[in-house]
């Protein structure tokens, strides 16, 4: 008997020691990356390693030394609280009921489960030993795509609410000799301009305080090169993006030891949040990839991940369309729209999209100064209402989509007259207007219902509507919520949560309707909003600017999610050039066919037919950035089908110099062993290709090692090449 007990004790001891050995580190892995977190003897959780995936599980034991130190200069605490021995930006800061501002989190437990053969979720529970504050960290690892998605949840059981004033989604640490940050900044019509700088001692913060239209000046994504400026096909690079449609903040802090800390989350500016006992504060998802072979592969991984897991209807088809915005602006009537519907059909696109200007009667929407908020059809422009237009579209054999901007209001509107208390504005100061409008207070559940009601009413009255373009033109100005009263510091966060509640309700009731996310151009482009939207509007601008803009967005978004239209901006560029630029993304037209001559129309019809034929390769293939417009006077990109049997190659001459040396472009992503035929498409009718390679066949190996002569010294010219396996 004694012997038996001894054996049981020995086995239990063995089990326990195995468990504690397992517990001393937590491994979060993709096929290419390991993130190793360590539980130190002091009970706290540290980042032990983030880098190339290790081959041997036993090598992880080597990190135990780091774990056991747990103090000193390099405290890489995974979720550091304020008031401890770390002197840098904390991930969490709480003012407890007794006024104490220190929080130190210790490890409680963790669990890892496979969500499917590719996705693993690790959940880590932490708590403060002195105050009843708890944090849960979530890490979802996508093996094949090499993506890790993280977020945190904060709660407490103190007697009264506590104030939380730092609440990061995630914190990461890096050790390298130099760090280079690429940021994306801009404004309307010049979105996502890329610039790179070296990070030296101290902090560089990228953040926004705009509330809504939050990404008007800077965008919720970044790259950090860890062994030089981020490069396309080599080098270690961190690429990260935050899924939050409001104020966000990335802090890059190089500390006293030369290590880099990257803190990502909601911008805590003016947002000390009162958290009730038991209430859970969920932070947004921070999505990152740590690439060991440059940004190109990392982008393709993000594209695959987005299509598979995040983007609304990521695997589905997309509709080509004709939008009336730049064709008519606010100046239209039924007849004009019906003509445009017929033009849409004649172009060969799937849908007609009615933009701004179709609503409001007491204060008609003749321009952007009135009517926003009054979502009744404007009877003088459209006496027979929207149902009639839906029918006209049906008669023209195209689908019908409609523009809305339901989160906003013009002060000159019936809505504002009836419900000034629904509007974010100062009660006791002069009002400042951005584009003559104000933002509705989405922290108020009644207003959330109203905004949902805008969509619901349109859909109930017009079940035939096939698409929404959902705009958001104003940042939050005159920052005061009549609903939140003395809790104004919750406005920026509760407003965005209110927006999500509306998106969620729309998605639940109308799960299959495609929607474009728009925000005065491309100021809303994040992966939380894109759970509800099939695509986003990149920019209202001319094709030359859009070459740079599309290049910039392509680092984080698949072209399938990037709406790009042919417009009349920059008429000095040919219609072919404008179309060839829009063909790179989700194609649409914002132009009347009346602006085209016969040849141009035939060209556009041919381009739409080509696009429809090649859509699967363009929208679902692998995207390669070949030649950067930032580094040369030209640019080239290509899409390759997953089967590597078809590719579409785009080449643009922007502003070449006289007599400039033109280099061949080496293609990427093809199968070296296969033979491919080269054919220039999208040619102006009755012209022939000038490419000497046109009609010839080459091995994938040749095309990738020697390349093709794609560029010319003609200003603003373009060509699209179809590449087909023989």
Smallest gap from residue 635 Cβ to ligand GLA (A):
24
**Crossing angle (nearest 10°) for helices 575-582 and 598-620:** 20
- C-alpha closest to that of 718 among 616, 566, 588: 566
Residues 365-404 contacting ligand GLA, CB under 6 A: 368, 403
- Say if CB 653 and CB 716 are below 8 A apart: yes
Smallest gap from residue 371 Cβ to ligand GLA (A):
11
Per-position x/- string for 127-156, each x denoting binding to ligand GLA as judged by CB under 6 A, each - no binding: ------------------------------
Q: Does 364 bind ligand GLA (CB under 6 A)?
A: no
Nearer of residues 155 and 524 to ligand GLA, judged by Cβ:
524
**Crossing angle (nearest 10°) for helices 491-509 and 445-461:** 30
User: Looking at 165-173, 506-514, 515-523, 716-724, which segment touches ligand GLA (CB under 6 A)?
Assistant: 515-523
- C-alpha closest to that of 261 among 174, 196, 168: 174
Q: Binder to ligand GLA among 350, 407, 540, 620 (CB under 6 A)?
A: 540
Residues in Cβ contact with 9 at an 8 Å cutoff, skipping those fewer than 6 apart: none
Cα–Cα distance measured from residue 463 to residue 459, given in angstroms and rounded to the nearest whole number: 5
User: Looking at 69-77, 140-148, 517-525, 640-648, which segment touches ligand GLA (CB under 6 A)?
Assistant: 517-525
Dihedral angle at the C-alpha atoms of 3, 8, 9, 12, nearest 10 degrees? 160
Smallest gap from residue 471 Cβ to ligand GLA (A):
5
Residues 402-421 contacting ligand GLA, CB under 6 A: 403
Smallest gap from residue 482 Cβ to ligand GLA (A):
26
Cα–Cα distance measured from residue 338 to residue 515, given in angstroms and rounded to the nearest whole number: 22
- C-alpha closest to that of 600 among 544, 543, 679, 683: 683
Cα–Cα distance measured from residue 394 to residue 2, given in angstroms and rounded to the nearest whole number: 86
Which pair of tokens denotes residue 282?
């969920």
Which pair of tokens denotes residue 100?
């104490």
Smallest gap from residue 434 Cβ to ligand GLA (A):
12
Q: Binder to ligand GLA among 355, 528, 622, 653 (CB under 6 A)?
A: 355
Cα–Cα distance measured from residue 216 to residue 210, given in angstroms and rounded to the nearest whole number: 8
Q: Does 521 bind ligand GLA (CB under 6 A)?
A: yes
The SS3 call for residue 546 is: helix
Q: Does 354 bind ligand GLA (CB under 6 A)?
A: no
Q: What are the φ/ψ torsions at residue 142 (nearest 5 degrees)?
A: -105, 105
Smallest gap from residue 540 Cβ to ligand GLA (A):
5
Residue with tokens 């679902």: 620
Smallest gap from residue 522 Cβ to ligand GLA (A):
8
Cα–Cα distance measured from residue 108 to residue 129, given in angstroms and rounded to the nearest whole number: 10
| DSSP secondary structure code for residue 51 in this structure | E
Instruction: Report CA 143 to chain centroid distance, whole Å.
Output: 21
Nearer of residues 174 and 434 to ligand GLA, judged by Cβ:
434
Smallest gap from residue 223 Cβ to ligand GLA (A):
26
Nearer of residues 75 and 541 to ligand GLA, judged by Cβ:
541
Smallest gap from residue 52 Cβ to ligand GLA (A):
42
- Say if CB 413 and CB 456 are below 8 A apart: no
Nearer of residues 222 and 536 to ligand GLA, judged by Cβ:
536
User: Looking at 4-12, 212-220, 516-524, 595-603, which segment touches ligand GLA (CB under 6 A)?
Assistant: 516-524
Smallest gap from residue 534 Cβ to ligand GLA (A):
17
Smallest gap from residue 473 Cβ to ligand GLA (A):
6
User: Looking at 85-93, 267-275, 514-522, 630-638, which segment touches ligand GLA (CB under 6 A)?
Assistant: 514-522
Number of residues that bind ligand GLA (CB under 6 A): 12
- Number of Cβ atoms within 10 Å of the Cβ of 602: 14
Nearer of residues 124 and 389 to ligand GLA, judged by Cβ:
389
Q: Binder to ligand GLA among 210, 518, 538, 723 (CB under 6 A)?
A: 518
Residues 442-501 contacting ligand GLA, CB under 6 A: 471, 473
Which pair of tokens denotes residue 376?
């009744």
Q: What are the φ/ψ torsions at residue 613 (nearest 5 degrees)?
A: -70, -35
User: Looking at 175-183, 378-386, 513-521, 571-579, which segment touches ligand GLA (CB under 6 A)?
Assistant: 513-521
The residue at minimum Cβ distance from ligand GLA is 356
Residue 166: C-alpha distances to residues 24, 81, 295 (Å): 27, 9, 30
Nearer of residues 535 and 622 to ligand GLA, judged by Cβ:
535
Nearer of residues 372 and 398 to ligand GLA, judged by Cβ:
372
Smallest gap from residue 537 Cβ to ligand GLA (A):
6
Q: Binder to ligand GLA among 520, 543, 552, 700 (CB under 6 A)?
A: 520
Q: Does 325 bind ligand GLA (CB under 6 A)?
A: yes
Q: Does 356 bind ligand GLA (CB under 6 A)?
A: yes
- C-alpha closest to that of 348 among 606, 644, 87, 70: 606
| DSSP secondary structure code for residue 504 in this structure | H
Smallest gap from residue 240 Cβ to ligand GLA (A):
27
- Say if CB 217 and CB 185 are below 8 A apart: yes
**Crossing angle (nearest 10°) for helices 334-347 and 385-395:** 30
Smallest gap from residue 380 Cβ to ligand GLA (A):
19
Per-position x/- string for 49-88, each x denoting binding to ligand GLA as judged by CB under 6 A, each - no binding: ----------------------------------------
Nearer of residues 158 and 368 to ligand GLA, judged by Cβ:
368
Cα–Cα distance measured from residue 470 to residue 476, given in angstroms and rounded to the nearest whole number: 17
Nearer of residues 240 and 520 to ligand GLA, judged by Cβ:
520
Nearer of residues 225 and 401 to ligand GLA, judged by Cβ:
401
Give the ranges where 129-188 is alpha helix by DSSP (H). Answer: none
Cα–Cα distance measured from residue 56 to residue 709, given in angstroms and rounded to the nearest whole number: 46
Nearer of residues 240 and 371 to ligand GLA, judged by Cβ:
371
- Say if CB 435 and CB 520 are below 8 A apart: yes
Q: Does 249 bind ligand GLA (CB under 6 A)?
A: no
- C-alpha closest to that of 324 among 536, 575, 590: 590
Angle at 660 between CA 656 and CA 661, to 5 degrees: 125
Nearer of residues 172 and 525 to ligand GLA, judged by Cβ:
525
Smallest gap from residue 356 Cβ to ligand GLA (A):
4
Residues forming contacts to ligand GLA in the complex (CB under 6 A) are 325, 355-356, 368, 403, 471, 473, 518, 520-521, 537, 540
């Amino acid at each position: 008997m004694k012997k038996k007990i001894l054996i049981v004790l020995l086995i239990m001891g063995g089990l326990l020691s195995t468990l504690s050995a397992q517990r001393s580190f937590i491994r979060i892995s993709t096929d290419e990356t390991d993130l190793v977190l360590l539980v130190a003897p002091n009970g706290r959780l540290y980042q032990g390693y983030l880098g190339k995936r290790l081959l041997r599980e036993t090598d992880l034991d080597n990190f135990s030394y780091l774990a056991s130190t747990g103090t000193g200069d390099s405290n890489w605490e995974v979720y550091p609280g304020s008031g401890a021995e770390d002197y840098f930006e904390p991930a969490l800061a709480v003012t407890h009921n007794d006024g104490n501002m220190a929080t130190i989190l210790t490890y409680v437990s963790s669990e890892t489960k496979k969500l499917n053969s590719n996705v693993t979720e690790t959940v880590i529970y932490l708590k403060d030993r002195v105050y009843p504050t708890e944090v849960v960290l979530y890490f979802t690892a996508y093996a094949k795509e090499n993506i890790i998605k993280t977020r945190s949840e904060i709660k407490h059981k103190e007697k009264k609410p506590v104030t939380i004033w730092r609440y990061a989604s995630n914190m990461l640490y890096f050790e390298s000799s130099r760090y280079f940050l690429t940021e994306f900044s801009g404004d309307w019509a010049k979105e996502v301009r890329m610039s790179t700088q070296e990070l030296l001692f101290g902090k560089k913060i990228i953040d926004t305080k705009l509330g809504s239209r939050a990404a008007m000046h800077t965008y919720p994504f970044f790259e950090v090169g860890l062994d030089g400026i981020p490069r396309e096909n080599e080098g270690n690079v961190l690429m990260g993006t935050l899924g939050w449609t409001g104020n966000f903040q990335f802090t890059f802090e190089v500390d006293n030891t030369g290590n880099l800390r990257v803190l990502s989350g909601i911008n805590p500016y003016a947002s000390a949040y009162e958290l009730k006992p038991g209430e859970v504060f969920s932070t947004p998802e921070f999505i990152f990839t740590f690439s060991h072979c440059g940004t190109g592969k990392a982008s393709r991984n993000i594209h695959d991940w987005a299509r598979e897991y995040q983007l609304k209807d990521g695997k589905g088809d997309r509709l080509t369309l004709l939008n009336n915005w730049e064709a008519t602006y606010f100046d239209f009537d039924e007849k004009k729209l019906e003509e445009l519907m017929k033009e849409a059909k004649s172009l060969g696109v799937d849908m007609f999209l009615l933009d701004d200007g179709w609503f409001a009667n007491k204060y008609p929407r003749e321009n952007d100064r009135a009517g926003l908020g009054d979502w009744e059809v404007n009877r003088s422009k459209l006496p027979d209402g929207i149902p009639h237009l839906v029918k006209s579209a049906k008669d023209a054999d195209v689908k019908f989509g409609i523009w809305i901007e339901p989160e906003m209001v013009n002060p000159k509107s019936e809505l504002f007259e009836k419900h000034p208390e629904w509007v974010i504005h100062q009660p006791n100061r002069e009002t400042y207007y951005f584009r003559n409008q104000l933002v509705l207070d989405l922290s108020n559940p009644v207003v959330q219902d109203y905004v949902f009601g805008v969509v619901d009413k349109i859909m109930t009255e017009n079940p035939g509507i096939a698409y929404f373009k959902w705009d958001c033109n104003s940042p939050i100005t005159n920052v005061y919520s009549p609903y939140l009263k003395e809790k104004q510091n919750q406005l920026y966060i509760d407003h965005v949560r209110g927006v999500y509640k509306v998106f969620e309700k729309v998605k639940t009731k109308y799960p299959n309707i495609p929607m474009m996310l728009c925000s005065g151009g491309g100021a809303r482009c994040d992966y939380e909003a894109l759970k509800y939207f099939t695509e986003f509007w990149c920019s209202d601008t001319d094709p030359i600017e859009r070459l740079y803009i599309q290049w910039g967005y392509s680092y984080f978004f698949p072209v399938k999610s990037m709406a790009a239209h042919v417009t009349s901006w920059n008429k000095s560029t040919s219609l072919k050039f404008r179309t060839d630029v829009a063909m790179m993304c989700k194609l649409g037209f914002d132009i009347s066919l009346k602006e085209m001559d016969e040849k141009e129309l035939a060209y556009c019809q041919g381009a739409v037919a080509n696009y429809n034929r090649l859509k699967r390769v363009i929208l679902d293939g692998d995207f390669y950035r070949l030649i950067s417009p930032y580094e040369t006077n030209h640019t080239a990109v290509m899409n390759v089908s997953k089967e590597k049997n078809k590719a579409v190659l785009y080449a643009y001459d922007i502003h070449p110099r006289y007599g400039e040396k033109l280099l061949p472009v080496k293609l990427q992503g093809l199968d070296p062993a296969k033979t491919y035929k080269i054919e220039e498409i999208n040619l102006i009718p009755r012209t022939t290709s000038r490419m000497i390679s046109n009609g010839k066949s080459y091995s994938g190996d040749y095309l990738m090692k020697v390349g093709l002569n794609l560029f010319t010294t003609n200003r603003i010219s373009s060509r699209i090449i179809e590449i087909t396996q023989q």
